[in-house]
Structure 1
Amino acid sequence: MSKNTDYILSLCHSLSEKGLTPTVGLIRSKATRALTVPEVISTLKRWKENPASYNQIASDEMAPTEHASSEATLEARVNKLEKEVAMLKALIEKSRTQLIDN
């Protein structure tokens, strides 16, 4: 199986353990890396046909470092977005000031 297939299967397993039904949109929203719709659809279809057989594989593949790295990645993304928002606010304020001065 490809790395993305294993990753998608682990997301399916994780979602189902939380009582959620895995869907393409839910999987893509929870993913910390880019996943194409066709690969999510095909993997999700295989998982739905026999979730129990894939859940064991997904459990074996899921490592605590994956969770820790995804949390760190999310934190880094949030920090980057906060900086971009602050920069955009400053740019808007500067533009507003220039418009008022003219």
Structure 2
Amino acid sequence: MSRRTATVVRRAPAGAGAPAGVFGLIEGERAGVDALRHPALRAAAFTGSQRGGLTLARIAAERPEPIPFYGELGSVNPVVVTPGAAEGRGTCPGGPAPAGWSGRTIRRRPRPAC
């Protein structure tokens, strides 16, 4: 999850009346392991490598009181831009990829000339 997405997600529970701190983004291996071992943590989610996720899942399961662990391990998340959406934003489908793009482009029709 990006820092920008985390900022948006952090606001949602607060807007619904949830207590502060119900969601947080933790970055870094040591910080993640320390948080996962903290007795106040009641569940954890992770998006990243298989190796890292399996390690964290094991830590969550081996706690004195195991907690739920939700992992998205080793995947590449799809980004879909419809021709209409791209047209409305002044970009060309199949054009230059956004910064950080790690996926592939799938097209149903030949790329339009832009």
Q: TM-score range by the shorter chain?
A: under 0.3
Instruction: Tell me the TM-score normalized by structure 1.
Output: 0.26
Whichever of the two has the greater Rg, that structure is 1
If each structure's helix is expressed as a fraction of its own residues, which one has the higher value? 1
Q: TM-score, normalising length from structure 2? A: 0.25
